[in-house]
A and B are shown apart, each in its own frame.
Chain A
Amino acid sequence: MTTKLNTPEHLFQSIHDDLGSLRQNLCNVIVGQETLIDELITAVFAGGHVLLEGLPGLGKTHLVKALAASIALPLGRIQCTPDLMPADITGSEILVRDEDGQHRLDFRPGPVFSALVLVDEINRATPKTQAALLEAMQEQQVTYAGKRYPLPTPFRVFATQNPIELEGTYPLPEAQLDRFMFKVKVGYPDADAMLSMLEVSLDDEPADHLPATLGTERIDEILQQARQVMIAVPIKQAAVTLILATHPDRQESASAAKSHIRYGASPRGLQALLRAARACALLHGRAQVAFDDLHSVALPALRHRILLKMESEMDGVEVDETLSRVIEQCLPKH
């Protein structure tokens, strides 16, 4: 059994099976959101943070809780409000008395010190509080009183926001948005999915007793194998072309980008794109990235990294529509 698992074929096959089990586990809880679940798993195993955007009641929080239960990782939750302070997220020093009766300041980690962090309604927090997440998300550490506190590994932030309710909110700055690998949109399930959801979660919260399919060690193995996935040069070239095509002032820019985009995607977006493509390939049991993977991850990886022109926004032009045209124009079909 051990010999079999050591061969690359069986190693990747077992990973594919495990990820398939995780996907099925989540699909049993969150009905009718297969694409959303795929994107979430991809982001998790690509090492990125996810911004979930959707109306209330669509199961964003429920999905994150189900994921945490499925992969058996601790989940910290932060409910953002305008009066939330950075220390409420990162933690703070409190005065404690030790066994000798001496008083001293001891650092008490905040909810950010979890493998999975659910930041609910992140756009309700003040910019100062939002900025407290920057260091945690990018450098996976927290600095408090001049002292650095590393965050656990893996560390993933799942933030949710309501796209409609804008009063009393603080839209995330571009620097903050760029830290998220994916911005996934949670849509309405169809009628069949809603009927199935009633069967599952009418009287119960299935995420509370969801069996774990992956352990911490297994997650580390999968994350390691995700780095072994081959990316051929034509794939890299296509990704670079796509990123440059989102810039309106570049020679390589697409026509849609010239018309509607004010700022294009950053190099961090290119990294996120290829890392996500690798995880997507792994999810599909492949050891090499295909153009299809780029197609799958391009939209969630880039939609929050481009800014539309003011007049385009006034005209009601959607980011997804513009980006889809750029993707269709730049990426090969196969």
Chain B
Amino acid sequence: MHKQHALHTLVGSVRNRLWLQETSRLLYLGIWGATAALLLFGLLHFLVQALSPKLFIAIALIPPVVTTAVSLLLRRPSAATAALAADRWFDSKQLITSAWELQEAGRSASGSGAMLVTQRAETCAARLQPGVHAVHPVTMPHSPHLPIALGLIGLFLLLMPGAQSNDDRQQANKGIQPQADSGLPDTRVAALEYRRDSSILSEESRQSAQGNAGSDVDHVSQDRAPARETRPGAVTQAVEHKGAARQNMSADEARPSPAAAGADASRAGPATSPDSEYAFSKGGRTPGGEPAHRRPGTDREDLPDMNFQLQPVLRAAANREAPAASGDTGIELSPNNKPAVDKPAPALSMQPAERVSVPYRAGFTPALRQYVSRYFSETETQP
């Protein structure tokens, strides 16, 4: 009785083994498909356009899932195929196939040949059954390490921060285009411009105050300054608003003689900052008792273009609005160093937008305006 079931058991085992082998073969192909998809999506995500990782990982998993499902549902080998495979595996000279055919046909093994085939097949199957799993393990056609490694690379790329798409770039560019009603923080931009230009204005006011008193040294300083602009290594200190204001307020007391001022200016090094450069170019007057101060980031070496672009703007601004701009010190300067009583209120008491004139804002490109917007948004969010 045991022998009679041996053939069925053997054929069933071989059939399942073939099924698993086919499944593993198709799964291997599916793994390659998933690997290719992951690599493709990963490269797209990393280089071209940011993709949703979850969605595209799910899409990449479709090939192995589909191939496995197809194998499990549709590619199950028939028993006759399994019998042929068993004969091939164990070199049993089509004994299993012949016996299986006899049993499947339901024919009684009447002939001596059929009887002998059945007997031999049952005996052979009982002997071969233990070797099915050992001799023919279910393995993939090739090692899956390579596709898995490549798939992990693709997965890694897909999980990394993605590249900006063209649409995103265009959208970002649109966002920083100057628009009339874009709602950009003009007041903040103005405030920043005010901060940046306050030193210029203070220098300008100081210079205008000095213009009357030290006109005899103008030619000296005007001649010296351009020559010293090329001298490197002169680092000036930043000028605080208060200091500048105080200096302007006590310009008469603190200012040394024009000769000494010229010497100080020449000692202070080249007027590389726009402020000092402007001071030199504006009538050749150096700031009164202080050397021409420089702020970091405003050196000619740091911003070579800005020097050339800013000069005419500042000149124009100084020509037009020197009295108003000098008001940021709180004291209106006049040509004779007397406070102008009929002038508007000091600029420090005004809002930044009111104090900054339009020509100063012309130095901000749309990108700078965007940065300013970001700067304020970040500083507001930080405690």
Contacts and interface: CB of A to CB of B under 8 A. Distances in A.
Interface of A: 8-9, 11-12, 225, 228-235, 286-292, 334
Contact of B94 (A8, A9, A12, A235): A235
B120 A232 contact: no
Contact of A12 (B84, B93, B97, B116): B116
Given A230-B113, A230-B114, A288-B113, A9 B97 contact: no
B101 A8 contact: no
Given A230-B102, A334-B88, A287 B116 contact: yes
A232 B112 contact: no
B87 interface: yes
Given A230-B102, A232-B101, A291 B113 contact: no
B93 A8 contact: no
Contacts of A12: 112-113, 116
Given A288-B93, A334-B88, A8 B115 contact: yes
Contacts of A233: 80, 101
28 contacts: A8-B113, A8-B115, A8-B116, A8-B119, A11-B112, A12-B112, A12-B113, A12-B116, A225-B113, A228-B112, A228-B114, A230-B101, A232-B97, A233-B80, A234-B94, A286-B93, A287-B98, A287-B117, A288-B93, A288-B99, A288-B113, A288-B117, A289-B98, A290-B93, A290-B94, A292-B93, A334-B88, A334-B91
A287 B113 CA distance: 5
A317 B98 CA distance: 38
Interface string B92-128: 0111011101100000000111111101100000000
A229 B93 CA distance: 13
Contacts of B97: 232, 234, 288
Among B84, B98, B120, find the residue whose CB has the most chain A CB atoms closer than 10 A: B98
B113 A232 contact: no
B98 A232 contact: yes
Contact of B84 (A8, A234, A292): A234
A254 B97 CA distance: 26
Interface string B259-278: 00000000000000000000
Interface of B, helix, strand, loop or mixed by DSSP? helix
A235 to B, nearest CB: 6
B94 A232 contact: yes
Interface string B275-302: 0000000000000000000000000000
Contact of A287 (B84, B88, B120): B120
A11 B87 CA distance: 24
Interface of B: 80, 84, 87-88, 91, 93-95, 97-99, 101-102, 111-117, 119-120
A290 B97 CA distance: 10
Contacts of B113: 8, 12, 225, 228-230, 287-288
Contacts of B91: 334
- The 5 lowest CB-CB distance pairs between A and B, nearest first, are A228-B113, A8-B116, A290-B93, A288-B98, A287-B116
Contacts of A231: 98
B93 A9 contact: no
Contacts of A230: 98, 101-102, 113-114, 117
Contact of A289 (B80, B94, B102): B94
Contacts of A290: 93-94
Among A12, A287, A289, find the residue whose CB has the most chain B CB atoms closer than 10 A: A287
Contacts of A228: 111-114
A326 to B, nearest CB: 21
B301 to A, nearest CB: 81
Nearest to A224: B112
A223 to B, nearest CB: 13
Contact of B95 (A9, A288, A291, A292): A288
A286 B112 CA distance: 12
A11 B116 CA distance: 9
A225 B93 contact: no
A11 B98 CA distance: 19
Given A230-B114, A289-B94, 12 more contacts: A11-B112, A11-B116, A228-B111, A228-B112, A232-B101, A233-B80, A234-B94, A286-B93, A286-B95, A287-B112, A287-B117, A288-B97
Nearest to B109: A8
Nearest to B114: A230
Contacts of A287: 98, 112-114, 116-117, 120
B107 to A, nearest CB: 10
Contacts of B80: 233-234
A17 B91 CA distance: 22
Contacts of B88: 334
Nearest to B110: A228
A12 B115 CA distance: 11
A59 B280 CA distance: 128
Contacts of A289: 94, 98
Nearest to B101: A232
A92 B84 CA distance: 55
Nearest to B111: A228
A286 B94 CA distance: 10
B216 to A, nearest CB: 111
A232 B80 CA distance: 10
Contacts of B93: 286, 288, 290, 292
Nearest to B113: A228
A9 B119 contact: yes
B203 to A, nearest CB: 96
B102 to A, nearest CB: 7
A288 B94 contact: yes
A231 B117 CA distance: 11
A334 B96 CA distance: 13
B128 to A, nearest CB: 15
Among B80, B97, B102, find the residue whose CB has the most chain A CB atoms closer than 10 A: B97
A183 B117 CA distance: 31
B98 A8 contact: no
Among B87, B99, B112, B115, find the residue whose CB has the most chain A CB atoms closer than 10 A: B112
Contacts of A229: 113
Contacts of B120: 9, 287
B116 to A, nearest CB: 4
A233 B97 CA distance: 9
